[in-house]
Chains A and B, each alone.
Chain A
Amino acid sequence: MSIATVLGEGGPQAATPRRTRARGHLPLLLPGLVYLTLFFVVPVGALLATSLYVPVPGGDVGQYQPALHWQNYTDALAKFWPQLVRSFGFALMATIAALLIGYPMAYVIGVRARGRRLLQGLMLVLVVAPFFTSFILRTIAWKQILADDSFVVSALHWLHLLPPGGRLTATPFAVVCGLTYNFLPFMVLPIYASLERLDARMLEAGADLYASPFTTFRTVTLPLSMPGVVGGTLLTFIPASGDYVNSSLLGNNTNTSMIGQVIDARFFKVLDYPTAAALSVVLMVAILLLVGAYVRRSGTEELL
């Protein structure tokens, strides 16, 4: 058992209709459903309502009244579309980078280390344990490791790998790296879970049929680990597109701002609740559309 088995869930549903009982599910369902309704569905409704509010005429900053002011959306989009597009761009880049880095990790843990339980366990622990060190502290660590006067940057200058005056922090590159870093475990664990479930005999059969390890990988291993890949990319892309910790700690506030930062600032600094709410709704809807299309395309609806 490990946390890893977790995220890449989607195993066979053993139950056949005959074996499942028809009644008695309500006591089990109700508490959770009521909770999610009260604290997820209703708040999203509140968010939708807030996104249409207008300022109280002559009221203080931060005072709004119910209305159906759809213009909030067009105003918000007209003003903040670059941040919205950038968020998805950064999230996409981070997801691809995390996939490229995370797949080999998951492969080594789940396939190469088979039979060596202790090694496998140790590597899994190393993937999971950073969860317990504050991710903000780790992000700040990156900031300091890559700071202008740091050893890394000096070395890169000395090696002429970085142009004079070039820097690593406060760049889009740094933000994408931070996002990649922070959500990497969410990529590794589901892929690991699906690779680990993979029957060793299939790999052997593949090796037998195709001989070349690459062909085996391409035709057997990769397709069979697709549920994990889909799960991992979703678990990376979704939080990355809404994140603002990385862009505010590793970015420069001009060409790295992401939509999360805007929403946060609108809520807490400007007290512009309708705009913040409208942007949140846009972000949520956009992600749901993207995720829906992606899941349908990859044919892994069962994953949900």
Chain B
Amino acid sequence: MSTTVEPTRPATVRRATTPRTGGSRRRRWRLGEALVPVFAGLAFLYLLVPVAYTVAFSFNDAGKSNLVWRGFTLDAWRNPCGAPQVCEAFANSLRVGVASTVIATALGTLLAVALVRFRFRGRPLVNLLIFLPMSTPEVVLGAALLAQFLSLRVQLGLTTVVIAHVMFCISFVVVTVKARVASLDPALEEAAADLYATPWHAFWRVTFPLLLPGIAAAALLAFSLSFDDFIITNFNSGSFTTFPKFVYVSAARGIPPQANVISSFMFVLALVLVVVFQVVSSVRAGRRQRG
């Protein structure tokens, strides 16, 4: 999935910085094109300012509420579980995230393989069934599940939250893995069968390793969706508290800086993981090019 496209833009970029020829309209556009990166930079700033704010306030010497800057301290970082419930909520979110990711990734991958590799009657219907949860607002999904749980008098808690998260993650997994399956030569599985591999072996020795990047991306996406979900969780959790729910509920009386610590930690962790992944894959790609 990584691109190995040669740099192709220098010509245009050069043209953009030498407004010598052409009419005024063209010159105006060149200016515009030069401004695109500036604009994008501002957009990145917009995206990251609240993250920076969150990280900064994890070092705040907060009193009762973490609203105004009172001075630098490492207290919250030294004792991230210092505030009541915060680590419990975080642990709950991890549990929910991992469980939902595993189940949704497994179910979604199977669906994706079936949808790309097989033509069967009712295929459009299955596609629709996968598309619908994505095109339904969370509040409706949450309310619908809650209505069902209420009518069945199901006790709300970890299980119901995981059920709900798996439900809305499956579609995203299917869409992600589908792209990867579609890019695989179907002859590869046939070649495996031709070389005496049972369907089971063919899947684990050939299909699965080749789908792995797509499956990993899907799992990462599912985890991030689950970990950060609030609305559906809020509907189906009862007294069970996840990290986003903890933050939302404590917003009224003041969010402890420990919440910022945990968020900052997750942000940095994600950053490091993805950077490592990028570097590894680009090194590998480089090695491949050199032969």
Chain A residues within CB distance 8 Å of chain B = 1-3, 5-7, 9-15, 17, 19-25, 27-29, 31-33, 35-37, 39-44, 46-47, 49-50, 101-102, 104-105, 107-109, 111-112, 114-118, 120-142, 144-145, 181, 184-185, 196, 200, 203-204, 207, 212-214, 234-235, 238-239, 241-245, 249, 259-260, 263-264, 267, 273, 276-277, 280-281, 283-284, 287-288, 291, 304
Q: When the two chains form their complex, are residues B260 and A9 in contact, meaning their CB atoms are under 8 A apart?
A: no
- Which of A10, A129, A239 counts the most B-chain CB atoms under 10 A from its CB? A129
10 closest residue pairs by CB, A with B: A242-B137, A115-B7, A121-B278, A28-B114, A141-B50, A43-B144, A25-B118, A200-B8, A32-B111, A132-B270
Closest to B269 in A: A132
Within 8 A of A (CB), among B136-193: 136-141, 143-148, 150-151, 163-164, 166-167, 170, 172, 174-176, 178-179, 182-187
Give min CB distance, A142 to chain B, whole Å: 6
Query: Which chain A positions have C-beta within 8 A of B32?
Result: 214
Say which residue of A2, A243, A267 sits within 8 Å of B274 (CB atoms).
Answer: A2
Query: Which chain A positions have C-beta within 8 A of B113?
Result: 28
Within 8 A of A (CB), among B251-289: 251, 255, 259-260, 263-264, 266-267, 269-271, 274-275, 277-279, 281-282, 285
Question: Beyond A28-B114, A138-B50, is A132–B234 a contact (Cβ under 8 Å)?
Answer: no
Q: When the two chains form their complex, are residues B199 and A104 in contact, meaning their CB atoms are under 8 A apart?
A: no
Say which residue of B144, B227, B281 sits within 8 Å of A44 (CB atoms).
Answer: B144
Query: Which chain A positions have C-beta within 8 A of B129?
Result: 33, 36-37, 40-41
- Which of B49, B110, B143, B263 counts the most A-chain CB atoms under 10 A from its CB? B143
Docked pose: A277 CA to B228 CA in angstroms: 25
Q: When the two chains form their complex, are residues A138 and B148 in contact, meaning their CB atoms are under 8 A apart?
A: no
At the interface, yes or no: B61 with Cβ under 8 Å from chain A? no
Within 8 A of A (CB), among B25-48: 26, 29-30, 32-33, 36-37, 39-40, 43-44, 46-48
Q: Could you give, for residues 122-146 of chain B, a 1 whenever the CB lies within 8 Å of some chain A CB and a 0 otherwise?
A: 0000111111111111111101111
Q: When the two chains form their complex, are residues B176 and A9 in contact, meaning their CB atoms are under 8 A apart?
A: yes
Say which residue of B49, B143, B164 sits within 8 Å of A263 (CB atoms).
Answer: B143
Q: Could you give, for residues 70-86 of chain B, a 1 whenever the CB lies within 8 Å of some chain A CB and a 0 otherwise?
A: 00000000000000000
Question: Beyond A25-B120, A244-B231, is A6–B136 a contact (Cβ under 8 Å)?
Answer: no
Docked pose: A36 CA to B129 CA in angstroms: 8
Q: When the two chains form their complex, are residues A130 and B114 in contact, meaning their CB atoms are under 8 A apart?
A: no
Question: Beyond A29-B111, A196-B3, is A128–B270 a contact (Cβ under 8 Å)?
Answer: yes
How many residue pairs link A and B with beta carbons under 8 A? The number is 353
Q: Is the interface of A mostly helix, strand, loop or mixed?
A: helix
Closest to B247 in A: A136
Known A-B contacts: A28-B118, A46-B151, A114-B7. Give 7 more (CB < 8 A): A22-B119, A47-B140, A101-B46, A105-B44, A115-B8, A137-B255, A138-B50
